[in-house]
Amino acid sequence: MSLPNERRVVVTGIGVVAPNGIGREAFWQGLKTGLNCVDNISFFDTSEHPSKVAAEIRNFKAENYVPLKKIKKMDRSTHMGIAAGLEAMADSRLPINDKTATNIGCIIGTGAGGMGFAEHEMSVYFKEGLKKVNPYAAISVFCGAIPSEIAIQLGIKGPNIAVSNGCTSSNDAIGLAYNTVKAGTVDAVLTGGVDACVTPAIVGSFCRINALSTKRNHDPKKASRPFNLDRDGFVMSEGAWLFVFEELQSALKRGAKIYAEMVGYGSTCDAYHMTAPAPDSEQTARAMQVALKTAGLVPGKIDYIVAHGTSTPLNDKNETKAIKIAFGDHAKKLSISSIKSMIGHAVGAAAAGNFVAAVMAAKENYIPPTINFENPDPECDLDYTPNKGKSLTVNYALVNSIGFGSKNASTIVKKYQE
């Protein structure tokens, strides 16, 4: 086995449950073609909600992945996490048996955990009383239920951790997984993000803080419009994007296919405000700078940034400012895009979706577009790959996430080379 400081971490499996499709290929093709998945909410009555749009996953069937007797004991987020986990492990062909199980971890990012399950059961409690409440409400609503149930179904016995850090959750989970494999704690980790946030209370709560788009309920396809002057808030979404991270020599020894290599991670805090980013954008920039430092890279090496790009008035201009601080003159040469323009914002899972885009961009040398780019904001003056994707050699891609609570995180993907 390599010494810890020599260990390289590669991606050998990808599993996806997303608004634009189930599976890596459907997801990636949807992004490449600019498939718009935002529509009016169908999951619940929105008559009292100012925002009536979301990116829902309407073709997901939990029974295809979860034993029937367990479905009612879990939140939708856990169903999706198990599905993405099964896909990622099958894609990697990493064997799980008595010899390997203890050497595989599960580190998952989630913002809301089992909040949807909690909403339903609390409603039952107040309407029908305690005896009608699902007994699993006690254990299925907390964030740690997601990696626990994934591990139980797959039989993996390494470190099992939930990271709930708002919108940076999955980027932080991916960073922790990277450091865990690199340090030699285990040789593989199933990691990424899961969130099922299109629920009445979650959407309603974000409406109450004026975070969601409300001006385009009549034209939902135009609601998510990052970096546009007339953007008015983000579009709620859901999804699960999971990866198998593996130590390179272990992956090569078993002949695994390798999508890309992870090489850097940075995390910072503005220490400023629970919902607004710091106006100076310094700590968002520093997250990128720390990621570059840990990767041993100068700014000019990055070819592509998968932006946080939420379509909120503050985020997009502050992220643009942060990129300029972190990259200097190179900022104008970068290709940038926000996939949230197509699939909305899946909160704690969003960065994991971005991470798939980064991995596939490095593997296939293609940049997906930022759609709905029609009315550029003068304060957002970089190359956001407007409306149409493009071919470009991507040796290094950086993934940004910026979250409530003043949090920032960045990860870096490298095209795999032996």
Return the CATH number at 39: 3.40.47.10
The verdict on 339 and 402 lying in the same domain is yes
Q: Are residues 52 and 119 in the same domain?
A: yes
Judge if 239 and 371 occupy the same domain: no
Residue 107 to residue 391: CA distance in whole angstroms? 33
Q: Is 163's pLDDT higher than 60? A: yes
120 catalytic? Reply is no
Query: Does residue 3 have a pLDDT over 80?
Result: no
Q: Residue 2 — very low, low, confident or very high, per pLDDT cuts 50/70/90?
A: very low
Q: What digits encode the pLDDT tens for the residues 183-197?
A: 999 999 999 999 999
* Mean pLDDT, rounded, for 289-317: 98
Q: Are residues 117 and 135 in the same domain?
A: yes
Mean pLDDT of 154-168: 98
Do 296 and 402 sit in the same domain of this protein? yes
Task: Give the span between the Cα atoms of 176 and 182, in whole angstroms.
Answer: 10
- Considering the domain architecture, whether residues 247 and 321 belong to the same structural domain is answered as no
* pLDDT for residue 1: 36
Confidence label for 418 from pLDDT (cuts 50, 70 and 90): confident
Q: Could you tell me if 327 and 348 lie in one domain?
A: yes
pLDDT digits (tens, 9 = 90+) for 324-381: 999 999 999 999 999 999 999 999 999 999 999 999 999 999 999 999 999 999 999 9
Which residue among 37, 106, 167, 380 is the active-site one? 167
Range of the domain at 248: 4-260
* Of the candidates 415, 110, 409, 107, the residue with the CA atom closest to the CA atom of residue 265: 409
343 and 410 in a single domain? The answer is yes
If asked whether residues 159 and 294 sit together in one domain, one would say no
> Using CA atoms, how far apart are residues 415 and 418, in angstroms rounded to an integer?
10
DSSP three-state, residue 128: helix
Boundary-marking domain end, from 260, 278, 311: 260
Check whether residue 250 and residue 305 sit in a common domain. no
Sign for the CA dihedral angle at 78, 182, 402, 276 comes to positive
- The residue with greater pLDDT, 418 or 253, is 253
Q: Given the residues 49, 79, 120, 345, select the one marked as catalytic.
A: 345
Q: Are residues 153 and 231 in the same domain?
A: yes
State the average pLDDT over residues 146-173. Answer: 98
Across 83-98, average pLDDT? 98
CA distance 162 to 155: 17
Residue 243 has pLDDT above 90, yes or no: yes
Mean pLDDT value of segment 282-300: 98
Confidence tier at 38 by pLDDT (50, 70, 90): very high
Angle at 223 between CA 17 and CA 234, to 5 degrees: 65
| Domain end point (choices 241, 260, 279) | 260
Total-model pTM: 0.97
pLDDT single digits (tens) 264-288? 999 999 999 999 999 999 999 999 9
**pLDDT score for 5:** 56
pLDDT at 314: 96
Q: Hey, which bits of 19-132 come out as E strands?
A: 21-22, 39-40, 53-55, 104-109
Q: Report residue 4's pLDDT band, with 50, 70 and 90 as the boundaries.
A: very low
- pLDDT score for 413: 98
Residues 291 and 254 in one domain: no
* Per-residue confidence band for 159, with pLDDT thresholds at 50, 70 and 90: very high
Instruction: Tell me if 28 sits within 8 A of 362, measured CB to CB.
Output: no
Distance CA 213, CA 279 (A): 22
* Neighbouring residues of 144: CB distance < 8 A, sequence distance ≥ 6: 113, 160, 161, 162
Q: What is the share, in percent, of the chain residues with pLDDT greater than 90?
A: 98
Q: How many domains does the chain have?
A: 2
Q: Is the pLDDT of residue 212 over 80?
A: yes
Tokens in use for 378?
């003068």
Among 197, 230, 260, the domain-final residue is 260
